[in-house]
Every structure is written in C-alpha cells, then in structure tokens.
Structure 1
Amino acid sequence: MGIKRAALQAAFPHTLPVLTGYIFLGTAFGVLLSSKGYSLGWAILMSTIIYAGAGQFVAISLLTSAFNPLYAFIITLVVNARHLFYGISLLNRLNGIGRKKSYVAFGLTDETFSILCSAEPPKGVDRSWFAFFIALLDHVYWVAGSVLGVLLGTLVDFNAKGIDFVMTALFVVIFIEQWKSQQYHGPAIIGIASSAVCLLVFGANNFIIPAMLAIVLVLSVCKKSLERRAVQ
C-alpha cells in the first residue's frame, strides 16, 4: 500500500463528523448564496478559494452591498482572526511536513484544527500526508456542500431568512465538545471572561479583536500557572 493511500485511509475516519457538518453547513451557504442570485460557479469559486465558513457568509452581504475595500478587509480580519492563533499553536505539531504545510495552513478551519490537535496517525503512517489529507478531505466536503446548496436553492424555493445562524450554532457545538474533552478548563474560562469584559467595554460591534488580544495577553502572563494546573 502506498504512503499516500495509507495516510488517506487513516485520515478519512477522523473526518466523518466534519463530513456530516460541512454538508449541512455548506448546503446552508449554497442556499443563501443562490437566494441572492449567484450561480453554481460562484459557490465553487468561493468555497475553493476563500474556504472560510463564517467569512463566506459575511462575503455574501459584502457582495450585495456597496463595495468598500477597507470595510471588507477589516470585517474579514475580525471574523477570521482566530486562525492566526490556530496557526501559532500548531507550529510545532506541523514542523517538518515540508511543502504540505502551506496547504494545511490554508485549510485550517475550526474543525480541521480540532482534528489536527487531537488525532494521531497510526503507526507506520506518514504524519505529513495524514495532516494533508485531513485538511483536503474537509475542504472537499465544504465545496460539495456548497454545490449541493446552490443546486437545491435553484430547484426549490427556500426562505433563507435566518439560515446564516448555522455558523453560530456550529461554534457553540465546537466549544461544548472542546470543553467536554478537557479536564482543566482554565484557558476556556479566561477566554469567556476576557470576551465578556471586552463586550461590555467595546460593544458588540467592536469587541472581537480586543477580546483576542486580551486572551493572548492573559494566557501569556498565566502560562506557567495554567500548565502546572493542567497536569495535576
């Protein structure tokens, strides 16, 4: 059995929960995109190149409003800034995977990040190809869901009002799963508390970036203490 095939077979079972979620969420995106008058080609292009669930939902509103490059840049940064922290936390784990690192970094969604943090390749399976195929499979699922959504939206008359809430629901589920998988919840509590304080101080429209900066600052200051408590 080839190295790539073995890695693909090992990666696939880990991505099955993402397959279920991405088909549903991608379909929701496709339906919403179709309701705004955009065709199948747009769905494929956006899901292949942008590949950011929440960012793509935001992009729909940007496409249907007056073009403002600065606003588009800021809102995209705010929505997807968390991926900067994902990438930093995976630097050591993905060290040594060569040119595949570029694609894995591009495909680092919330769900892919969770799998890469928790899944270990079986003995004898190449780690770099294992990580690559996890990212690739999740990417394919998202594109497939988007295509399905546009096709359904074209064939069936949907009321798309409120459908973009699926991303909020997904983030809540991811947080709950991460909470249940960890015995020590110190970092999570710091994240919640920092976000709540920034929400009160900066308001709902401006709190995300200050909250992320506050979380990084507090976690950096308390790093040693948190690490000691995590291993107790």
Structure 2
Amino acid sequence: MTKTLRFAFIKTIPVLFGYLFLGIAFGLLLQRAGYNFIWAFFISTFVFAGSMQFVLISFLGSSMSFVSIILMTLSINSRHIFYGLSFIEKFKHMGKAYPYMIFSLTDETYSLLCGTQIPEDLQEDKVFFAIASLNQSYWVIGSVLGGLLGEMIFFNTTGIDFAMTALFVVIFIEQWLASKIHIPALIGVFCGVISLIVFGPNRFILPALISTIGLIILFRKNIQSREEAQI
C-alpha cells in the first residue's frame, strides 16, 4: 500500500499545487461571505464540485430555490456524465469504493486516470482509489487553509483561480508527450475552440464534449489502426 500511495502521490503532484491554491481561494471567498473554515471543510468533503463550489457561495443565504440549485449544479457539472460512462465498468469491480469513485471523479482525477500507466506490480483499483482520495484531500486541505487564513489576514484573490487553467495545461502537455497518437487531443482542441466561438465561454463545455466524443467515435477505427501500427 505504501508503494501504491507513493506512486499515486507522484502522479498527483500537479493536482496538489493546483488544488491547494484553488482550495485556498475557495476558503477565502467563503470566509469573506461569512462562513468559516468549518463550512469550507464540510462543503469540500461532501460537495467536492470544483467550480460549482464557487458558485455555491452566491447561493448560500439567497432566496434561490432548492430545485434551481439542483438544476444549476447539473448544468455546470453535466460533463461528468461523460467521464463516468467511460469508467463505470472499472469502478463496478472496485467493490465498496465504487460509490466514492463516482463521487470523486473531477476533471483532473479523470485526466489522471485516463493517462496514468499502472506498473505491473501495482493493482489498478488501489492506484485509482489512491489518486482520487489524494486529490480530494488536497482540495479539502486548501479550503480549510483558505478559511483559516481569511480569518487572520486580508487577501486579494484576484487571479488565483487561474491555477485551474494552468493545471489543465500541465496535464494536457503530460498526456501529449506520453501518447504517440495525438488525433484525440487535436479533435478535443478543435471542438473546444469551435464551441467556444459559437456558444461563448459560459456554455461551450457540454457542446465541446458531445462533439469531441462524436468525432472520436466516427474516427475510432482510424485511431485504433494508427495505435496498432505504433505498437
């Protein structure tokens, strides 16, 4: 288990720095809204929804209905449906960890699970669980730190959320360098840019995911043949 945790920790180092800074930003903003580090701990432990947690700050204490909050959450995190579909069979074989793996499947965790090559002497399910739990622990620790720091020192949080963008760039570069076939990545970039232009920055993620998956399915045989030729 120690070897599994060491391997998972090394793989999650980029997420560690991204989540710590973003978690601190969330904790600071939550504290500024009047909710201390205890709220930050429980929200990051039981909600753990990344960008949705920042949106949640504006919901707390508002007159927004519970149904509206549910619909907003579903809209913002709808991309996770596609993430889960590609891992559902693997998660089913993880026993008691199955519900947690579904709960913990963030953008960054999904990217790591897709791109990590598991050594032969380690069990895949244990590595997956270690990566997911470590990533959440980084977010929780960052949130609590932000809440505590916000009570002691005033922080200007402008620009802190850029850490998420930087984190995505690092993970994308690592996967690009590790893969010999770049067609799926190029399709994703193309669909993302076109969707951003057509739908705008607030609505492009879901159309980009749908079009990316559609094109990858369409060119699946070509991609597979190229992968086999590289083996």
Common topology (TM > 0.5): yes
Query: Which residue of 24, 31, 36 maps to 2:33?
Result: 36
| Residue range with higher mean Cα deviation, 39-48 or 174-183 | 174-183
70 and 79 in structure 1: CA distance in 2 versus 1, 3 angstrom threshold: same
1:113 pairs with 2:110: yes
What is the 5 A alignment of 1:159-174? 159-174=156-171
Matches of 1:121 and 1:111 in 2, distance apart? 20
What is the 5 A alignment of 1:138-153? 138-153=135-150
- Cα deviation for residue 44 of structure 1 reads 0.7
What secondary structure does 1:173 align onto? helix
Query: Which residue of 167, 181, 185 maps to 1:184?
Result: 181
Counterpart of 1:151, as a letter, is L
Structure 1 residues 68-127: Cα deviation after superposition (integer angstroms, max 9, x where no partner): 54553344234322322222222344452212121122111233223333141552x444
217 and 64 in structure 1: CA distance in 2 versus 1, 3 angstrom threshold: farther
207 and 69 in structure 1: CA distance in 2 versus 1, 3 angstrom threshold: farther
169 and 80 in structure 1: CA distance in 2 versus 1, 3 angstrom threshold: farther
Contact 2:20 2:138 in 1 (8 A): yes
Query: Which residue of 224, 228, 231 maps to 2:228?
Result: 231
Contact 2:108 2:168 in 1 (8 A): no
Counterpart of 1:150, as a letter, is G
1:198 pairs with 2:195: yes
Counterpart of 2:98, as a letter, is K
1:62 pairs with 2:63: no
- Cα deviation for residue 48 of structure 1 reads 0.3
- Cα deviation for residue 23 of structure 1 reads 2.0
Matches of 1:77 and 1:182 in 2, distance apart? 32
Taking structure 1 as the reference length, what is the TM-score of the superposition?
0.83
| Residue range with higher mean Cα deviation, 57-66 or 47-56 | 57-66
- Cα deviation for residue 25 of structure 1 reads 2.2
Taking structure 2 as the reference length, what is the TM-score of the superposition?
0.83
Query: Which residue of 6, 15, 21 maps to 2:12?
Result: 15
9 and 205 in structure 1: CA distance in 2 versus 1, 3 angstrom threshold: closer
Contact 1:35 1:160 in 2 (8 A): no
120 and 94 in structure 1: CA distance in 2 versus 1, 3 angstrom threshold: farther
What is the 5 A alignment of 1:63-142? 63=60, 66-69=63-66, 71-117=68-114, 118-121=116-119, 123=121, 125-142=122-139
Q: Which aligned segments of 4 or more residues in structure 1 are displaced greater than 6 angstroms?
A: none
What secondary structure does 1:195 align onto? helix
Contact 1:15 1:137 in 2 (8 A): yes
Contact 1:29 1:149 in 2 (8 A): yes
RMSD (CA atoms): 2.6
State how many pairs are aligned.
228
163 and 64 in structure 1: CA distance in 2 versus 1, 3 angstrom threshold: farther
Matches of 2:179 and 2:155 in 1, distance apart? 40
For structure 2, the 5+ residue unaligned runs are none
For structure 1, the 5+ residue unaligned runs are none
What is the 5 A alignment of 1:45-60? 45-60=42-57
State the percentage of identical aligned residues: 45
